[in-house]
Amino acid sequence: MARQRAEADEAPPKKSELTRQSILDAAARMFRMHGYSGTRLSDIADEIGMKAGSLYYHFPSREALVEAVMDLGLQRTHAAVLDRLSMLPADAGHLTRLQVAIETHLLSVLEQEDYTSASIKLIWQVPAGIRERQIADQRAYGALWRKLLEDARKGGAIRADVDLSVARMAIVGALNWAADWYKPGKLTPKRIARDICAMVLNGLVAEDEAAAAKRRPATTKRAKK
């Protein structure tokens, strides 16, 4: 919702909007798979039966194109999370909200086409100017997570001894990383989301083990039996 070159508001409900979309789709797919430097304009154009030069009718430059893709990726994820959170009953607990955010973000990374995945992977590949603007935009989304965690802590739902920014980055990192390794197959995105939620909220330690562990010095635990 931040960076859109003049073009989207004027008035004329052009039909070339369709082409623009297909260019973006192809670009997102290509950039995601082959990276920024690994994707030529001609790759994108070929993908939709066009010539490279023609892309310039729709986008002023290769950089503008990749920035548009990244913007969309971030905005879609942000919007999806906001949306699902807003659908929760007003009395939903902090942990539920956290769970929903985790699940939605992950599904966005794994399903929501290539935009999200591209926006994550490209951050360090694009020219500095784009990266800076992108990181600035990420802050707004980060703030949403910060608030989720802060609220949960204030509500006493999450432990007091873990730094919240570490928690936030670790969670988002675990989720974003999935863009790298996920291959449709055995594990469904839902299942993955469930497991990550379980880990993040309740930890990996087995139930019976947990109680005992918390009573021992932090670095000298032994597995029983």
Partner DNA sequence: CTTTTTTTCTAATATATATTAGAATACGGT
Partner DNA sequence: ACCGTATTCTAATATATATTAGAAAAAAAG
User: Footprint of DNA on residues 8-67 (CB under 7 A)?
Assistant: 12, 14-16, 19, 40-42, 45, 49-54, 56-58, 60-63
Residue 204 carries which DSSP code?
S
Helix (H) or strand (E) holding 215: none
The two tokens of residue 94 are 């902090």
- 23 close to 48: Cβ distance less than 8 angstroms: yes
200 contacts DNA (rule: CB under 7 A)? no
Angle (CA) 2 17 51, round 5°: 105
1/92 with CB nearer its own copies? 92
Taking residues 83 to 102 in sequence order and writing x for each that binds its own copies by CB under 8 A, - otherwise, the string is --------xxxxxx-xx---
At 140, list the tokens.
């707004």
Nearer to DNA, 19 or 112 (CB): 19
Residue 78 binds which of DNA, its own copies, none (CB < 5-8 A, kind-dependent): none
- Which stretch, 29-37, 45-53, 54-62, 68-76, contacts its own copies (CB under 8 A)? 29-37
- Confirm or reject binding of residue 196 to its own copies (CB under 8 A): yes
Closer of 25 and 103 to DNA (Cβ)? 25
- The correct pick among 36, 115, 141, 145 for binding its own copies (CB under 8 A) is 36
CA distance 150 to 169: 14
**Separation CA 221–CA 224 (nearest Å):** 9
Residue 4 Cβ vs DNA, minimum distance, rounded to whole Å:
17
Q: Is-contact 121 35, C-beta < 8 A? A: yes
What is residue 214's DSSP assignment?
T
Q: Which does 203 bind (CB under 5 to 8 A by kind): its own copies, DNA, none?
A: its own copies
CA distance readout (Å), 150 to 44, 136, 153 = 43, 21, 5
CB of 41 to DNA, least distance (A): 3
Alpha helices by DSSP H, listed for 92-127, are 94-110, 115-122
Which one of its own copies, DNA, none interacts with residue 188, CB within 5 to 8 A by kind? none
Using CB under 8 A as the binding rule, whether residue 30 contacts its own copies is answered as no
Number of residues that bind DNA (CB under 7 A): 22
Question: For residue 118, which of 189, 79, 68, 81 has the smallest C-alpha distance?
Answer: 68
Q: In whole angstroms, what is the distance from residue 122 CA to residue 20 CA?
A: 21
Residues in contact with DNA by CB under 7 A are 12, 14-16, 19, 40-42, 45, 49-54, 56-58, 60-63
